[in-house]
Amino acid sequence: LIGIYGHELKMPVYVVGGFVRDLLLNIPNYDIDIVVEGNGIEFAKYVGKQLDAIVVPYEKFYTATLVFKDGFKIDIATARTEYYEKPGELPQVDVSTIKKDLYRRDFTINAMAIKLNPNEFGVLYDFFNCQRDLQEGIIRILHNLSFIEDPTRMIRAVRFETRYNFRIEEHTLDILKKNLEGKYLERVSGSRIRQEIEKILEEREPMKAIRRLAELGILKHIFPKTYYTPTMDEKLERVFKFLPSVKERYQNISDFYAISTVLLEFYDKETLDDMRNRYGYPKKFIESLKFTENMMMPLKSMIETRLNFSDIYKVIGKGNPYIFIHLSAYLEEDDQEYLITYIDAILNTKLEKVSGKYVIERFSLKSGPVINEILERLYAMKLDNPK
Ligand code: CTP
């Protein structure tokens, strides 16, 4: 239908980017990006009318999103050439042709288009030997300024490498390393970097990608004081093993914060503040990280020796999910299981009928800090003996 509407408006229309890549790889992909040689917004409005979809235009970028009744979305863009006034910032846009549009993209594997107009329906537009790279499993930039125009592509390169088991090609790797040293990644806003890392964490093998980010020296430009040692690697492995159990028990657990408990270990206060400003960690998260960092070794041995819950409670109290995640980095699998039983006890234990008022009346006490202390002790006892 999109092709037919293109024909009706006399505009060449293409499906581009990740959809084409995955189609050729025979992998399902429902992220549809359409590029129009002509006015993309006008085209989107026409399609919206025909198919009863809502059109959300972004005039500045000559793009629009079509939102269908069932929530399905299609992005429509005007073929464009992007100018980057400053590296790392969002681009300025100029209307252009499909070839130039594709040339401005990140990697050859993402720079193909398929025409949708009926007279050429299904024709693959491959100007830069993209299909060959896709077949050979090569991640290659289209031009030498690619990473300067958008430094987050350095992280994307690793994501695609890991996802498809591809390899960044040598010249691309050279340029990537030069641009890393040129500190281009540092010019990008923290939120964009964070988004890219979050995308990596959604992949099937995030550890493999993190390792590669470390190996290529990219991680150092994201977390400047992180030394990626084999110990750190092991810690992260353990965190990823533990994470599903935490997610079953707490809502909205961020994988980014989870790995940060390890990546930001033993940071000095100043750099930690820089990281907070850059990546937007909540103040509480950072404070709790700092507070519990030196408790990890004692807690580890408490868990390993299967200390009573009440004794563990004395040290970390009810804790919070990120303290538990951090601690899990130090624990073998059966010790992680014991930690989970502690978490379950914390989440399921309540004093119910025993309140401050009850204690005051039952033991004829005066209100004061001692009441809280009694309640805390009763709670700790109940952790060990729920009945
Ligand atoms: N793109 C780019 N530079 C970027 C991000 C995106 O050139 N920094 C282009 C690529 O052509 C990409 C397309 O925009 O294929 C769509 O981007 P996006 O949806 O982020 O990625 P996909 O390639 O679709 O990958 P994924 O499967 O992870 O969604």
**pLDDT, tens digit, for every residue of 247-266?**
999 999 999 999 999 999 98
- Of the ranges 53-62, 89-98, 313-322, 326-335, which one carries the lowest mean pLDDT score? 89-98
pLDDT of 129 > 90? The answer is yes
Please, which pLDDT band fits residue 94 given cuts at 50, 70 and 90?
low
Asked if pLDDT for residue 60 goes beyond 90, the answer is no
Would you say the CB of residue 292 lies under 6 angstroms from ligand 1? no
What does the block give as tokens for 35?
A: 């590029």
Kindly tell me if the per-residue pLDDT of 355 is higher than 80.
no
Write down the pLDDT at residue 82: 67
The one-character DSSP state at 143 is S
Q: What's the mean pLDDT in 314-340?
A: 94
Closest atom of ligand 1 relative to the 31 alpha carbon: 24
110 CB within 6 A, ligand 1: yes
Point out which residues pair with 15 in neighbouring strands.
34, 114
Helix (H, G, I), strand (E, B) or coil at 123: coil
CA 180/CA 161 separation, integer angstroms: 18
| pTM confidence score | 0.89
Given a cut of 70, whether residue 353 has pLDDT beyond it is yes
- Nearest ligand 1 atom to the CA of 105 is 7
pLDDT at 93 over 90: no
Query: 165-210: per-residue pLDDT in tens?
Result: 999 999 999 999 999 999 999 999 999 999 999 999 999 999 999 9
149 lines ligand 1 (CB under 6 A): no
If you take atom 13 of ligand 1, which residue's CA is the nearest one?
17
Confirm or reject: Cβ of 162 under 6 Å from ligand 1: no
Model pLDDT for residues 272-325, shown as the tens digit of each residue = 999 999 999 999 999 988 888 889 999 999 999 999 888 998 888 888 999 999
DSSP letter at 78 equals E
Query: If you compute the radius of gyration of the chain from its CA atoms, what whole number of angstroms results?
Result: 27
In this structure, the residue with its CA closest to atom 14 of ligand 1 is 17
Give all strands (DSSP E) within the chain, no chain letters. Answer: 13-16, 32-36, 54-58, 63-67, 73-78, 80-83, 92-95, 113-115, 124-125, 138-139, 167-168
The pLDDT mean for the chain works out to: 92
Q: How far is CA 202 from CA 159, 232, 240, in A?
A: 10, 20, 12
Q: 196 CB less than 6 Å from ligand 1?
A: no
Closest CA to 227 of 187, 270, 271, 167: 271
In percent, the amount of the chain with pLDDT more than 90 equals: 77
Listed residue (285, 294, 290, 284) closest to 267, CA to CA: 290
For residue range 4-41, list pLDDT tens digits in order.
Answer: 999 999 999 999 999 999 999 999 999 999 999 999 99
Q: What are the tens digits of pLDDT across the range 197-245? A: 999 999 999 999 999 999 999 999 999 999 999 999 999 999 999 999 9
Q: Tell me what ipTM this predicted complex has.
A: 0.96
Residue 264: closest CA among 295, 234, 228, 297:
228
Give the atom of ligand 1 at the shortest distance from the alpha carbon of 199: 28
Answer whether 311 contacts ligand 1 (Cβ < 6 A). no
